[in-house]
Amino acid sequence: MSSQVTAVSSASAWEGGKSPYATNSKKFGMWLFIISDALTFSALLFAYTYGRVSNPDWPKPFDFTPSIIFSSVMTFCLLSSSLTMVMAVHQMNHGNRKAAGGWILATIAGGVAFVGLHLTEWLRLINVEHVTPASNPFGVPQFGATFFAITGLHMTHVIIGVIYLAIVCQAVLRGKFKAEDVEVSGLYWHFVDLVWMFVFPLVYLMSARVN
Amino acid sequence: MSTHTEQVEHIEGATTMTFSKVWIALLVLTAIEVFLCYEQLPTVVMLTLLVGLSVIKAVLIIAYFMHLKFERLSLFLTLFPMLIFCILLMLIFLGDATRIPVMRPGF
């Protein structure tokens, strides 16, 4: 009986009794969330791009200096925070909780810097350029709606990520949570970075003005 | 016991050196994108180049930072073909979007 069971389960990882993905359920759950969230962002970015491409009058409100330089610095913050997050996961896998906590704090700092710079950019657009979700002085009303919807949803993800990482960080430093929990939070953070890698060229670089 | 084996598996894969290299590659690709924006190319050419570079960046982030390169192939096959297929389906209307400007009267 038992030899039969062994024979069956060794035939395929899908026969039961094994983890076919060789991963824990938290990580798999996060991956499923990321895939569904990726579809949400792609739908928004596709809708935006269609509006952008089909409209020759689409405004170019972002001056190369300072707006594009500014958003490039934001991209740098987010990319670097991804590197520090990888380091945190790496240290946690080696059992160095204190170092992992430090790297997570660095990641949080990157995220906070990104949100701070992004809000500055938003306030400049709202107060100086008078762009709102409903109207703008450029003559294409969709611009404000799509800009604030996409960057707003992304910024919401970053803020949630910062809160998530803060919770993970304090737990790690207090000796709670395992390496896999840090890895799962890392997956979320990298995804937020990944989305920005599409938002930055499509929303900012496509609407840049070079004088 | 089983968690112990899992931990050992995770430690293998990539080193901090690899991560740093990926980070530098991502920064270089971003710099190329910013440079392209400075060049002010036609919209569709610009869009193709930027999305192409972004896809390379996405693959680097998913493979190395999100560790997918070191996971089982079954995880990748479960998650990504479906996602890529759905994203490609969204491309169906792109032809219409690029045609609309030239269909405008007086354009």
Nearest CA in chain A to B19: A83
Are A146 and A47 a contacting pair, CB within 8 Å? Answer: yes
The arithmetic mean of pLDDT across residues A95-115, rounded, is 96
The arithmetic mean of pLDDT across residues A4-18, rounded, is 65
Boundaries of every domain in chain B: 2-103
Domain hosting A109: range is: 24-209
Indicate the pTM of the whole model. 0.89
Q: Is residue A167 part of a domain?
A: yes
Q: What is the 3-state secondary structure (H, E, C) of chain A?
A: CHHHHHHHHHHCCCCCCCCCCCCCHHHHHHHHHHHHHHHHHHHHHHHHHHHHHHCCCCCCCEEHHHHHHHHHHHHHHHHHHHHHHHHHHHHHHCCCHHHHHHHHHHHHHHHHHHHHHHHHHHHHHHHCCCCCCCCCCCCCCHHHHHHHHHHHHHHHHHHHHHHHHHHHHHHHHCCCCCHHHHHHHHHHHHHHHHHHHHHHHHHHHHHEECC
Question: What is the predicted pLDDT for the residue at A18?
Answer: 79
Q: What is the mean pLDDT of chain A?
A: 91
Q: Is residue A141 part of a domain?
A: yes
User: In this complex, is the C-beta atom of A46 within 8 Å of any C-beta atom belonging to chain B?
Assistant: yes
pLDDT tens digit string along B23-54?
999 999 999 999 998 888 888 899 999 999 99
The arithmetic mean of pLDDT across residues A75-98, rounded, is 95
Question: What is the predicted pLDDT for the residue at B5?
Answer: 42
Q: Is residue A180 part of a domain?
A: yes
Which residues of chain B are within 8 Å of residue A28 when distances are taken between CB atoms? 75
Which residues of chain B are within 8 Å of residue A97 when distances are taken between CB atoms? none
Q: Is residue A5 part of a domain?
A: no
What's A134's domain CATH number?
A: 1.20.120.80
Chain-chain contact of A53 with B90 (C-beta, under 8 angstroms): no
First to last CA, chain B: 71
Q: Is residue A2 part of a domain?
A: no
The arithmetic mean of pLDDT across residues A171-178, rounded, is 94
Name the residue among B54, B61, B75 with its Cβ closest to that of A82.
B61
Q: Is residue A61 part of a domain?
A: yes
Which residues of chain A are within 8 Å of residue B37 when distances are taken between CB atoms? 64, 68, 201, 204-206, 208, 210
Residues of A (74-113) whose Cβ lies below 8 Å from B: 75-76, 79-80, 82-83, 85-87, 90, 93-94
- pLDDT tier, A105 (very low <50, low <70, confident <90, very high otherwise): very high
- pLDDT tier, B2 (very low <50, low <70, confident <90, very high otherwise): very low
Which residues of chain B are within 8 Å of residue A193 when distances are taken between CB atoms? 61, 65
Which residues of chain B are within 8 Å of residue A59 when distances are taken between CB atoms? none
Reply yes or no on whether the pLDDT at B59 is more than 90.
yes
Question: What is the predicted pLDDT for the residue at A13?
Answer: 77
Chain-chain contact of A32 with B100 (C-beta, under 8 angstroms): no
What's the domain count of chain A? 1
Predicted ipTM of the assembly:
0.88
Q: Could you tell me where the DSSP H helices lie in chain B? A: 2-11, 16-39, 43-60, 73-89, 94-103
Name the residue among A54, A198, A202 with its Cβ closest to that of B97.
A54
Name the residue among B65, B72, B80 with its Cβ closest to that of A190.
B65
The arithmetic mean of pLDDT across residues A14-22, rounded, is 81
Question: What is the predicted pLDDT for the residue at B7?
Answer: 45
pLDDT tens digit string along A68-82?
999 999 999 999 999
pLDDT tens digit string along A125-143?
999 989 999 888 988 888 9
Angstroms from A135 CA to nearest CA on chain B: 22
Reply yes or no on whether the pLDDT at B16 is more than 90.
no
Which residues of chain B are within 8 Å of residue A46 when distances are taken between CB atoms? 90-91
Reply yes or no on whether the pLDDT at A110 is more than 60.
yes
- pLDDT tier, A12 (very low <50, low <70, confident <90, very high otherwise): confident
Question: What is the predicted pLDDT for the residue at B13?
Answer: 61
Q: Express as a percent the part of chain A with pLDDT over 70.
A: 95
The arithmetic mean of pLDDT across residues A21-41, rounded, is 94
Reply yes or no on whether the pLDDT at B101 is more than 90.
no
pLDDT tens digit string along B61-97?
999 999 998 889 999 999 999 999 999 999 998 888 8
Q: Express as a percent the part of chain A with pLDDT over 90.
A: 72
